[in-house]
Amino acid sequence: MGLAEGDYAPGHGPASKVSVSLRAGNIRAIRERVGARGFSAYVDAAIERQIERDLLEEALQSNEAQSGPIPEALRDEAAALFREIKSAPELQEKSEWHAREAAG
């Protein structure tokens, strides 16, 4: 008998088929990047990254609850650094979709 879904950590366990609804533009963008055969792996990796972000946000909130809020100047500095890195020329591609994402 196999293990239940709850017995696996994020990113682990066998693949299972599920049905999800996605916006047409997202489907197009994924297919343009990875083709039809890489679609599931791309979505699975995106979900794993989102879970990591959620866990990081929870850790940050816990830290703020214990130590107080992060100073605004430090938040501004981090945001500026992130925007600079995100818009670096070496990260830009000819893809219009990618360019819009990097500029946002």
Q: Please indicate, yes or no, if residue 56 is contained in any of the structural domains.
A: yes
Tell me the per-residue pLDDT of 29-68, one tens digit each, with 9 for 90 and over.
999 999 989 999 999 999 999 999 999 999 999 999 999 9
Domain that holds residue 46: 22-103
Rounded to whole angstroms, the Cα distance separating 23 from 29 reads 10
First to last CA, the chain: 48
Question: To the nearest 10°, the Cα dihedral for 28, 33, 36, 41?
Answer: -110
Residue for token pair 């990113």: 11
Q: Please indicate, yes or no, if residue 34 is contained in any of the structural domains.
A: yes
Tell me the per-residue pLDDT of 7-40, one tens digit each, with 9 for 90 and over.
898 889 999 999 999 999 999 999 999 998 999 9
Q: Please indicate, yes or no, if residue 95 is contained in any of the structural domains.
A: yes
Q: Please indicate, yes or no, if residue 99 is contained in any of the structural domains.
A: yes
Q: Please indicate, yes or no, if residue 1 is contained in any of the structural domains.
A: no
Q: Write down the pTM of the prediction.
A: 0.63
Q: Please indicate, yes or no, if residue 65 is contained in any of the structural domains.
A: yes
Q: Please indicate, yes or no, if residue 8 is contained in any of the structural domains.
A: no
Rounded to whole angstroms, the Cα distance separating 62 from 54 reads 12
Task: Tell me how many domains the chain contains.
Answer: 1
Q: State the average pLDDT over residues 81-92.
A: 83
